[in-house]
Structure 1
Amino acid sequence: MTLSPLAQSPLDHVREVALLLPEAEERESHGQPSFFVAGTQFAQFREDHHGDAMTVVCVKTGDADEQAMMIEANPAVYSRPSYLGASGWVAIDLAGDVDWALVEDRIARSWELAAPRRLLEAGGR
């Protein structure tokens, strides 16, 4: 699903990836552009959230163990986001030389974790 990030802002790229997923919709949540499937959030874009000077997309992980493993394996890319981190989410850094294929895959995986069974059984993404 890798898309060309040329001439796109990080938000535009995240938006394009997220909205390609079945029944995905965008709406603001807590002042941030957020993405939902069947009423469940699966991604949130943050830019300078509470003055942290970071640009990230926050996504679900399977559980706290996966979250910890990802952060430990690559702390330059993954971090524990405020508010969402307690629920096992990770933030993916979107500054610098971004591995967009990884970002796209993690957004799609987060969608799978949030999507209702009927979408997954219908073939998902």
Structure 2
Amino acid sequence: MELHDSGGYLPRIREFCLSLPATSERLSHGAPTFFIEEKRSFAAYRNNHHGDGKVALWCAAPPGAQSTLVASAPDWYYIPAYVGHLGWVGLRLDRDAGWDEIAGAIESAYLARAPKKWIDFVKERRQRG
């Protein structure tokens, strides 16, 4: 059973993820998942995954960031099933995470998984404003 995405997060998440270079979306394990160059996943939207009651975004995280995020904001961040051992974090969307927090998590996830050419491109684009 899926929970209703009353926050309307998925369309905005999709828009932001697909605005990053060389990204695509497809279902993976039943969830909308975002990939770099069609092969490296960096984020997945999860709605009541196996009945956990959470509307969340699972994101790759830079090395060492998982424990810091979970400890500093346990109402928002948690260690997700299946990918938690890889350093990924879950960001609870059903706990009113703000769009700045969500966009930051997505960009960090992308940068944690992207090849150097795309990392440089994103950083240069950010500097140009």
TM-score bracket for this pair, using the shorter chain length: 0.7 to 0.9
Matched residue, 2:19: 20
Query: Do the aligned partners of residues 8 and 24 (structure 1) sit closer, same or farther apart at CA in structure 2, a change above 3 Å counting?
Result: farther
Give deviations 1:62-87, integer Å, cap 9, x for gaps. 12x32011101110000000001010
TM-score normalised by length of structure 2: 0.84
C-alpha separation in 2, matches of 1:91 and 1:37: 19
What is residue 45 of structure 1 aligned with on the other side?
45
Task: Give the superposed CA RMSD.
Answer: 1.6
Q: Which runs of 5+ in 1 are unaligned?
A: 1-6
Deviation at 1:23, TM superposition (A): 1.1
Partner SS, residue 68 of structure 1: helix
TM superposition shift of 1:8: 6.5
For the 8 Å contact 2:56–2:91, the answer to whether it is kept is yes
- SS of 2:94's equivalent in the other structure is coil
Quote the residue 1:4 is aligned against. Answer: none
Higher RCO structure, 1 or 2 (CA under 8 Å, sep 6+): 1
TM-fit CA distance, 1:37: 0.5
Alignment TM-score, normalising by the size of structure 1: 0.87
> What does 1:78-93 correspond to in 2, within 5 Å?
78-93=77-92
Displaced runs of 4 or more, over 6 A = none
| Corresponding pairs, count | 118
Task: Give 2:58's aligned residue.
Answer: 58
- Between Structure 1 and Structure 2, the one with more helix by share is 2
Cα distance in structure 1, aligned partners of 2:95 and 2:79: 19
CA distance in 2, matches of 1:56, 1:83: 14
Paired with 1:21 and 1:43, the residues of 2 have a C-alpha distance of 12
C-alpha separation in 2, matches of 1:47 and 1:91:
12
CA contact (8 A) 2:17 2:34 kept: yes
Identity, in percent, stands at 31
